[in-house]
Structure 1
């Protein structure tokens, strides 16, 4: 009932609303909604995994659909420079920070946690750069490249996680690297992308054929939007490939010639579905957050270390690589825009999904843990959850103030509107 007022005056979005409401009704406040109690034997990991998978896949498919036609081909060079070296540098930087703060974890275990914090979350990204404030103040080239980057690097988090997990659970490094290349890259990433492209192009051809023959109306296009995203991740997950990259590739392939965008232009149903899924997802995350696990001294997890980790991650994970690489990215025209892109790296649904996926690959831990694998299983979600909570709180509001600094008049106007509203 107050969403428009909050968005227009305080520049907050459904990400913050949903998370706050989830915390209020969750087990640490109202105790009305407790997702961790649904399946006590596994800590509700399977339910959390599938909820995050559906929301992520739908969001990634939507980003692929909404990008201009041939966008991925035209901007492949820029995306390659933004995604691969930035992710790799951020992965190593966060791994080093974790090793310094948590000496009981090996560097490989730290890299496994860092893999969860490496990708930019596409759901928060879409919610922020797709808002009216960002549309007004952020250049369209930056908004599009950030959306495309967030979608691509979320799916590419698999290889970073898989090499860390293989090195942790496998006794031989040769076996670990062999599985990483064959399974992590060839089967999951490359097959996932190829599968998504083939399905997207095939579906685009079929839907255009149906349109020419009068078999489908305008309203059904939007229904196919949702059905195709679910169908893609279903096929990809069944064969064990990267379902997130498959969803993004399928969305990009479907909009390759611009036909699907033309037919759905002006339709709001898909946006409503995205909004409902996003709100439900962040309510779930708010109730899921393990506040009691943010202080486990026996594992080396204490609040001040988590706070230092969050601040260090926010300032070091992306800014330095982006400042070094922006001259090779035509969409970024100045160091200020590079600083903005480097700062912009929210963590949310993707981090929760990757950390939950990691737990499915690790042994069930004892308390106290018996080995490094069990220690990693106990530490990964409390650490990731704290950083996600901080990212949701800070990124979703501070981003708008950061944008305002590009224009002093806009900053004064925004501050005045916010002050008047609070009064």
Structure 2
């Protein structure tokens, strides 16, 4: 029997994921309507239960040096699929018509939260200098598109949140997740480069021109090209409805493959591709009322948050050597909750056409869940720090060691508290 039974981490992963999705799908309506709990919270909790600190069935951190690379790619695929779907589901030419609202909601709001929250990070963790605090803050600045879609995409959100607010929040979460690259890159360049002039030069040339702008152009071109090809195939009778729906996953993965191979912003490229492919509404017409994309989202989200739950480094949340304590992390989450978005939105909403009053501004400011994107960006930062040539300085080593404990704790609180608060308020109003 030992020659027949092969219990490996991969086979256990299939067993765990399949069992959870089957179980959740059987009782999902009762859980959502009676307990007001979504698959994100349940998936994370289930991951914690099967993780190394409970049942010890699944432990992503036991994979050694490959752990960060695997975590990075899992988060990348889930993010790219979610961003592509957001781009597709927005109305045709939405970005062009709402560019002013998006620019104000993304750039100054992110910059304000990034800078202010970095100050609190350095105050609570004085071993980090301000530049290192900016790196940590950059990981937690963007709104997570996966959590955002899970919150504002359900029927209760459709009933209780105005359509223009849901659309602008979805578009904003997609844009600012891709635009986290420049905030992260300038912080890392200032950390690893001896010259400030060299750091800002690389930031402009690589962070903005090559990653953000080129990534957006690549994604838009790929989306436009595939839109043209699918319309041609449809006219010739070469493609059916099911093949249109399959593009949600295949085109998202192809886009991030092209962009990441070239070293550009793959997340922004995926969003741009989704926006471009649905620009004239042809793709939407052939995919509306199809549930396959929703099924893909459910399975990927469940898998991702089970992975996150098992991945969380609970043993690092009280580390005297790094100066990390649970009470500091709790204070940091409260600071992020109050200052990351709300003050900027209340100050700027009069210049945002899609936000009509201070109540909507307050909701948009409060709505800023942190999740998959934060883990992706923090893991990317660690790989960038580790991949630099030469021996890293003490500050780099310290930053690399503190990134995941700080970011993961804030993400955990965001999943359990912020996500549930928004979800519960929507259910109660229905």
Q: TM-score w.r.t. structure 1 length?
A: 0.93
- State the distance in 2 between where 1:59 and 1:401 align: 23
User: Is 2:167 the counterpart of 1:144?
Assistant: yes
- State the distance in 2 between where 1:182 and 1:76 align: 24
Match of 1:346 in 2: 369
Match of 1:26 in 2: 51
Match of 1:41 in 2: 65
After superposition, where does 1:374-389 map in structure 2 within 5 Å?
A: 374-389=397-412
After superposition, the Cα gap between the structure-2 partners of 1:113 and 1:269, relative to the gap in structure 1 and judged at 3 Å, is same
- State the distance in 2 between where 1:143 and 1:9 align: 24
User: Is 2:85 the counterpart of 1:62?
Assistant: yes
After superposition, the Cα gap between the structure-2 partners of 1:225 and 1:363, relative to the gap in structure 1 and judged at 3 Å, is closer
Contact 1:364–1:374 (CA<8 Å) still a contact in 2? Answer: no
Contact 1:12–1:396 (CA<8 Å) still a contact in 2? Answer: no
Q: CA deviation at 1:299?
A: 1.0
Question: What are the Cα deviations for residues 79-109 of structure 1, in whole angstroms up to 9, with x where unaligned?
Answer: 0110000000010011011011111110000
Contact 1:347–1:388 (CA<8 Å) still a contact in 2? Answer: yes
Match of 1:16 in 2: 41
Match of 2:16 in 1: none
Q: CA deviation at 1:13?
A: 1.2
- State the distance in 1 between where 2:31 and 2:351 align: 38
Question: What are the Cα deviations for residues 253-282 of structure 1, in whole angstroms up to 9, with x where unaligned?
Answer: 000000000001110001101110011000
Question: What are the Cα deviations for residues 2-41 of structure 1, in whole angstroms up to 9, with x where unaligned?
Answer: 2111112232211101100000000011100111112x13
Q: CA deviation at 1:401?
A: 4.2
Match of 1:347, SS?
coil
Match of 1:200 in 2: 223
> Which of 164, 188, 203 does residue 180 from structure 1 map onto?
203
Match of 1:319 in 2: 342
Match of 1:2, SS?
helix
Contact 1:52–1:350 (CA<8 Å) still a contact in 2? Answer: yes
Match of 1:297 in 2: 320
5+ residue gaps, structure 1: 405-409, 415-423
Contact 1:11–1:133 (CA<8 Å) still a contact in 2? Answer: no
After superposition, where does 1:117-136 map in structure 2 within 5 Å?
A: 117-136=140-159
- State the distance in 1 between where 2:27 and 2:426 align: 24
Q: CA deviation at 1:76?
A: 0.5
Match of 1:419 in 2: none
Q: CA deviation at 1:146?
A: 0.3
User: Is 2:102 the counterpart of 1:79?
Assistant: yes
> Which of 287, 290, 298 does residue 310 from structure 2 map onto?
287
User: Is 2:419 the counterpart of 1:396?
Assistant: yes
Contact 1:13–1:396 (CA<8 Å) still a contact in 2? Answer: no
- State the distance in 2 between where 1:349 and 1:51 align: 10
Q: CA deviation at 1:402?
A: 4.3
> Which of 391, 395, 398 does residue 372 from structure 1 map onto?
395
Contact 2:36–2:424 (CA<8 Å) still a contact in 1? Answer: no
Contact 2:127–2:323 (CA<8 Å) still a contact in 1? Answer: yes
- State the distance in 1 between where 2:342 and 2:360 align: 11
- State the distance in 1 between where 2:367 and 2:165 align: 11
> Which of 188, 191, 194 does residue 165 from structure 1 map onto?
188
Match of 1:418 in 2: none
- State the distance in 2 between where 1:279 and 1:160 align: 29
Match of 2:232, SS?
helix
- State the distance in 2 between where 1:235 and 1:363 align: 24
Question: What are the Cα deviations for residues 102-148 of structure 1, in whole angstroms up to 9, with x where unaligned?
Answer: 11110000000000000000000000000121111000111000000
Contact 2:117–2:137 (CA<8 Å) still a contact in 1? Answer: yes
Aligned residues: 402
Match of 2:338, SS?
helix
Match of 2:21 in 1: none
Match of 2:278 in 1: 255
After superposition, where does 1:213-292 map in structure 2 within 5 Å?
A: 213-292=236-315
5+ residue gaps, structure 2: 1-25
Question: What are the Cα deviations for residues 383-417 of structure 1, in whole angstroms up to 9, with x where unaligned?
Answer: 0000000000012210134457xxxxx55xx7xxx
Q: TM-score w.r.t. structure 2 length?
A: 0.91
Q: CA deviation at 1:370?
A: 5.9
